[in-house]
Amino acid sequence: MRLNRLLLTFLLAASFGHAPAFAADGEAPKPKVFVVSTLYKKHETTPSYDLPTLRALIERLDPDVFVLDVTPTELRERTVWPGKVEYVQVVFPMIDARGATAYASEPAEPLFAELSGPSTAAHVALEKERPAVRAALRDLDAATYAALAVHWRTPEAVHDALTDRVVGANRDLKNRLVGPVAETNQRRWNEHHAQRLLEAAARHPGQRIVMLVGIESRYEVMRLLADASGIELVDVADWPAAAP
């Protein structure tokens, strides 16, 4: 049975052009995984983590494989929601220039609508029924990211434990005030991200994988991946010390 699993791993990797070099004990080496935060349009107003800085960070991580928070259709067609400026300006061109393999971690339909539709409706209802609460959340969001921008002097700081705590608390409070559907669907969304990453990792033993997710998902995705046995999860905040 163990031999069959090893043979399946080899065949999967070879089918994607990445036949692994096996470790001394016969097991394929674990892929090295980096989960990188993106800011969408906030990249344009955050000098310490603007699009050239994001590009330089990804180049330093030198991925063989990308896992992206876009849908399969968006990845295939190279078109995304307009707010995701990093994909059109940085990520898709990098993938094409490198000839890298890429996977989408956002759900395809009908799951996309199943998760996003009720959450959007809950936000609309909050705006209509409790406009003062919705306004307070917008103010909180603006203040949170303005303060974080001061803290972020390096790309590593964008990924540090303090940032995770601040972003996580901000997101959790927003979801709590919007309602249970936002909390539940956000959790399911992040679980989908993590599952797609693990599926990609199984296909690419021994490879370097960069996963890009919005900053409000990263902290939970990292938590979900922390105990996964099939990957070597490297925190970007610790990368200079962990290199190469």
pLDDT digits (tens, 9 = 90+) for 2-43: 333 333 343 334 333 444 444 545 677 999 999 999 999 999
Q: What is the pLDDT of residues 205-221, one digit of tens each?
A: 999 999 999 999 999 99
Backbone angles phi, psi at 103, to 5 degrees: -125, 150
Distance CA 105, CA 84 (A): 15
> Is 82 inside any structural domain?
yes
Check residue 240 and give its pLDDT: 67
> Is 244 inside any structural domain?
no
Distance CA 170, CA 174 (A): 6
**Token code pair at residue 227:** 């105990």
> Is 118 inside any structural domain?
yes
- Chain-centroid distance of CA 103 in Å reads 11
Check residue 238 and give its pLDDT: 86
State the residue range of the domain holding 96.
Answer: 28-237
Check residue 241 and give its pLDDT: 53
Which DSSP category does 32 fall into?
E
> Is 212 inside any structural domain?
yes
Question: What's the predicted TM-score (pTM) here?
Answer: 0.85
Mean pLDDT estimate for the chain: 88
> Is 92 inside any structural domain?
yes
Distance CA 119, CA 185 (A): 7
> Is 101 inside any structural domain?
yes
Distance CA 197, CA 202 (A): 9
Q: What is the pLDDT of residues 125-161, one digit of tens each?
A: 888 999 999 999 999 999 999 999 999 999 999 999 9
The domain total for the chain is: 1
> Is 229 inside any structural domain?
yes
Can you spell out the DSSP letters for 166-198?
Answer: HHHHHHHHHHHHH-HHHHHHHHHHHHHHHHHHH
Q: Residue 120: exposed, middle, or buried by beta-carbon count in 10 A (0-12, 13-18, 19+)?
A: middle
Check residue 123 and give its pLDDT: 85
**C-beta of residue 243 within 8 angstroms of C-beta of residue 67:** no
> Is 11 inside any structural domain?
no
Half-sphere exposure of 164 (CA within 13 A, CB side): 15
Q: What is the pLDDT of residues 100-121, one digit of tens each?
A: 999 999 999 999 899 888 888 9
Q: Is the peptide bond prior to 110 cis by the omega test (within 30 degrees of 0)?
A: yes
